[in-house]
């Protein structure tokens, strides 16, 4: 079964708490939210970078480059919508 981003953030929170000796238990939800935001931001930035690279690499064939960039941006929009729905 695929883990949701929220599940992964909660698992990372438990791991961080284990490393810290449980000192962050009162802030467990805030820690999980911060981890989730960090993961989401990293995914969004990577998608943008991929679109930029596709456009740059296919600059000689502008039409193909634009189609690839548009598809990456479409997937990025769907990713953001799905991540927002998980909250």
Q: What is the pLDDT of residues 53-87, one digit of tens each?
A: 877 777 777 778 778 878 888 887 887 777 777 65
Q: State how far the Cα of 17 lies from the Cα of 29, in Å rounded to an integer.
A: 12
**Residue 36: inside a domain:** no
**Residue 23: inside a domain:** no
The residues, any chain, with a CB within 8 Å of residue 55's CB and separated by 6 or more, are: 65, 66, 68, 69
**Residue 56: inside a domain:** yes
Number of domains observed in the structure of the chain? 1
pLDDT of residue 23: 64
Range of the structural domain that residue 66 is part of: 42-87
Question: What per-residue string of b and e applies to 6-27 under the rule 16 or more CB within 10 Å gives b?
Answer: eeebbebbeebbeeeeeeeeee
Is 54 exposed, middle or buried (CB count within 10 Å of its CB: 0-12, 13-18, 19+)? buried
**Residue 11: inside a domain:** no
**Residue 82: inside a domain:** yes
């Amino acid at each position: 079964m695929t883990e949701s981003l929220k599940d992964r953030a909660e698992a990372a929170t438990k791991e961080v708490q284990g490393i810290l000796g449980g000192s962050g238990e009162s802030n467990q939800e805030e820690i999980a939210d911060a981890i989730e935001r960090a993961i989401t931001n990293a995914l969004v930035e990577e998608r943008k970078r991929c679109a930029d690279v596709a456009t740059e690499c296919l600059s000689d064939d502008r039409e193909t480059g634009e189609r690839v960039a548009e598809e990456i941006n479409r997937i990025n929009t769907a990713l953001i919508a799905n991540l927002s729905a998980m909250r």
